[in-house]
Amino acid sequence: MKHVNLLILDDKEENTISLSALLSEVEHINIISSTDPNEALKICWKNDIAIALVDVQMPEINGFEFVSLLKSNPKTNHIMAIMVTAISKEDKYLLKGLESGAVDYLYKPLSPEITVAKVTSFVRQIHIQEEIKQKNIALEESQRQLILAKEEAEEARRSKESFLANMSHEIRTPINGIVGIIHILRNTPLNDEQRDWINRLDSASNSLLLIINDILDISKIDSGMMKIEYESFSIHKKLTDINNFFKIKALDKNLAFETDIDPQLPEYIRSSPIRIQQIINNFISNALKFTEEGKITLQASVMEQVGSQYTIKFTVADTGIGIKPDAIEKIFLAFEQGDDGITKKYGGTGLGLAIVKRLADLLHGKIEAKSTYGEGSAFSFQATFEKVDDFRPEETIDTTAISSLRKFDNVRILVAEDNELNSFMLVHILKSWGCEVDVAKNGRIAIEYVNQHDYDLIMMDTHMPVMSGFEAIQEIKTHPNPQKAYTPIITISASVLQHEQAAAYEAGADSVIGKPFDPIDLYQKIDKLISKRV
Ligand code: ADP
């Protein structure tokens, strides 16, 4: 244990000697004594004195004054002063000493036991204080480390975010081109063999897109960037769409597909239709993948209703290969599959259910898996939703052949896009809708075109060399010619990040379209924007 310096100040040397002798049995102290208050002050300034035993009656500076001097100096105000006095035990002296900053009194003639006990207790107190001080320093240090670690984590999150934004753009841009060209090719005369090639190309590019979307989804959720967008929608229509889509796929595998909807299921609910569909699609895709014969059932049941709050359970049951009991917990972890043979036989990344589990958490719901190995499985998602009563869904154009859409009349569009494949595909689609199209390879050229011609609409890619889409939009939207400044702009963003889409709106875009985009969606957006023309 560290030794504590103790000062004895008494104008009579015999007193300092006897007190030193008395305290010699106290452990962990170094005794320094003085008969001169001025010299004692210097000792206190220069040495790390922790306790001072101060005689009250001294010529020149008395004990009270001496303690006041110690207390008034930041270098010495921590010293514990104990007054040693023979004068009186009356309260006024006691108070005077305490007011000057002393912590205790010793009365002459000194009782050896009390003196040793008091000093020992103060030494212990100082040791405890020292320990607290050290712990505080350690605490401050660990707090500093924590703040540092938090900043580092924040920095890592930011770089992950920008990596995500870049990667999603880089990968989705060429896929957008491939998917678009497939759309175009489908609308040209093809022989059977060519149609088969196109179908294979379509299925391969769709799988690639699914894998990329899965990887992006899981990274987005894990970095806290997945925002659930709530809206009112018809859950009946959603389930019918899912049923229609998967019935054909099940038929291809000679499987029966049934949908069983609880009559209590409300027509409209408020939630995220995309995420609910993603969860159910995942269950059904797995059921299709792991079932060779029998049937797949999609069931929607109302489990509880409290006012307008409906607890709904969506279950997908199959008669497939089932899952071994020891694997069932594992399958919700990212990159985990039922057993090692699964990858070889069925493929897959093991991401599907991990995403489903995270999405269910984001929707405040729960996932359940029941399975009998060799007989089949049932996966369910249950959550509570709000029923919506007065809701009118927007009319949607229900057509899939892009070339059969009504032609636009006298519409001139500027496409600002640096990727050749994408601009080629976009120009082709726009021309098939009767539009006149110009192409600019970057934002700067786009501005020049806008200055030279009048456009009905501009389609602007966000990431472009020389001048980015955002800068070009800002410049167009502040154009001195109001006619040009009002030109509607649709940004084409390959990023899955919401803040990037928000940035496009902030820059002045009138609408945003993702990559790869659905041509029908683009058609509707263009139709809406140009119908506002004056
Ligand atoms: P994957 O892309 O590998 O299918 P998932 O996360 O969707 O990844 O599924 C993880 C694993 O769970 C699968 O590899 C499979 O072993 C098991 N699994 C999921 N659904 C079923 C099902 N309906 N029947 C049997 N096994 C299933």
d(CA 373, CA 322): 4
Q: Is 342 in the pocket of ligand 1 (CB under 6 A)?
A: yes
> Is residue 112 within 8 Å of residue 22, measured between CB atoms?
yes
Q: Tell the burial category of 24 from Cβ atoms under 10 Å away from its Cβ (0-12, 13-18, 19+).
A: exposed
Instruction: Identify the CA nearest to 4 among candidates 160, 117, 125.
Output: 125
Residue with tokens 């609408």: 511
Sequence-distant (6+) residues with CB within 8 A of 273 are 231, 233, 238
Q: Is 380 in the pocket of ligand 1 (CB under 6 A)?
A: no
Q: Is 320 in the pocket of ligand 1 (CB under 6 A)?
A: yes
Pocket test for ligand 1, best of 279, 286, 321, 358 (most atoms within 8 A of CB): 286
pLDDT for 279 equals 95
Q: Is 323 in the pocket of ligand 1 (CB under 6 A)?
A: yes
Extract the residue ranges of the chain whose pLDDT is less than 50: 397-399
C-alpha dihedral over 429, 435, 439, 444, to 10 degrees?
-130
pLDDT for 399 equals 44
Q: Is 352 in the pocket of ligand 1 (CB under 6 A)?
A: yes
231 C-alpha to ligand 1 centroid (Å):
30
**Shortest-distance Cα residue to atom 16 of ligand 1:** 338
pLDDT for 303 equals 97
Sequence-distant (6+) residues with CB within 8 A of 477 are 485, 489, 507, 508
- Alpha helices by DSSP H, 187-263: 192-222, 235-252
Q: Is 349 in the pocket of ligand 1 (CB under 6 A)?
A: yes
136 C-alpha to ligand 1 centroid (Å):
52
Q: Is 350 in the pocket of ligand 1 (CB under 6 A)?
A: yes
**Shortest-distance Cα residue to atom 14 of ligand 1:** 337
Instruction: Identify the CA nearest to 390 among candidates 321, 480, 498, 308.
Output: 308
Q: Which atom of ligand 1 is nearest to the CA of 376?
A: 24
DSSP-derived pairing of the beta strands 49-55 and 104-107:
unpaired
pTM of the full predicted structure? Answer: 0.56
Q: Is 337 in the pocket of ligand 1 (CB under 6 A)?
A: yes
371 C-alpha to ligand 1 centroid (Å):
11
Q: Tell the burial category of 372 from Cβ atoms under 10 Å away from its Cβ (0-12, 13-18, 19+).
A: exposed
Pocket test for ligand 1, best of 290, 291, 371 (most atoms within 8 A of CB): 290
Pocket test for ligand 1, best of 257, 353, 358 (most atoms within 8 A of CB): 353
Q: Which atom of ligand 1 is nearest to the CA of 350?
A: 8
> Is residue 46 within 8 Å of residue 18, measured between CB atoms?
no
Q: Is 319 in the pocket of ligand 1 (CB under 6 A)?
A: no
Q: Cα–Cα distances in Å, from 327 out to 218, 336, 342, 351, 370? A: 21, 9, 12, 15, 11
Residue with tokens 């294979």: 200
pLDDT for 531 equals 82
Q: Is 353 in the pocket of ligand 1 (CB under 6 A)?
A: yes
How would DSSP label each residue in 308-337? TEEEEEEEEEE-S----GGGTTGGGSTT--
C-alpha dihedral over 435, 441, 445, 446, to 10 degrees?
40
6-42: pLDDT as tens digits: 999 999 999 999 999 999 989 999 999 999 999 999 9
338 C-alpha to ligand 1 centroid (Å):
6
Q: Which atom of ligand 1 is nearest to the CA of 332?
A: 6
Residue 492 is given by DSSP the state E
Q: Is 15 in the pocket of ligand 1 (CB under 6 A)?
A: no
**Shortest-distance Cα residue to atom 13 of ligand 1:** 337
196 C-alpha to ligand 1 centroid (Å):
29
Q: Which atom of ligand 1 is nearest to the CA of 316?
A: 23
Structure tokens at 350: 């093991």
pLDDT for 343 equals 58
Q: Is 286 in the pocket of ligand 1 (CB under 6 A)?
A: yes
376 C-alpha to ligand 1 centroid (Å):
12
Q: Is 214 in the pocket of ligand 1 (CB under 6 A)?
A: no
> Is residue 4 within 8 Å of residue 126, measured between CB atoms?
yes
286 C-alpha to ligand 1 centroid (Å):
6
248 C-alpha to ligand 1 centroid (Å):
21
pLDDT for 87 equals 64
227 C-alpha to ligand 1 centroid (Å):
26
Q: Is 367 in the pocket of ligand 1 (CB under 6 A)?
A: no
pLDDT for 398 equals 47
